[in-house]
Chain A
């Protein structure tokens, strides 16, 4: 374990489902991030939160909705996804924006 815990590790969902990915860190970090990694593609930055405020949204479709209720937790709410959204979703945290990241192990999402 890296100190950043993501659940579930694997998720299969239908295109009409609603599900949420959860990320939790107890490292005292105050910045958290969502990345998407599709097969054989580089990691894509989706969202950046600093001190629980969203500071970056990289043109992510509205079917992905992040939530950061406190500095230790980050969620990614999913609804009406498409098969091309199947990917590894990675959460990361850092002490402050600019420091090295600690990544979680990711959630492997399959949309059927």
Chain B
């Protein structure tokens, strides 16, 4: 049972826009801690997608964007491409647990 809640799966057709939610609580996202996002291609290690202040590391296209409101965050992917098919993970810090927390991951399928 992950501390942050993500939908198990989302899907969209090429060119469409999808969003992936990440719901936390008052001890993590709701407490103001940043939320980070990772992309994990099949059989590969996670790769940083969104860092602090919703910045994208070099090489990450601007089709990927993130937002946060209250105790929830979301990742938006616009102009879906076949290469976006992967698992996406959200990550934050929890003051009650004094540790790092993740969502359970969301599998994106490009139809």
State yes or no: do A and B come from one complex: no
User: Measuring CB to CB, which residues of chain A are less than 8 angstroms from any residue of chain B?
Assistant: none
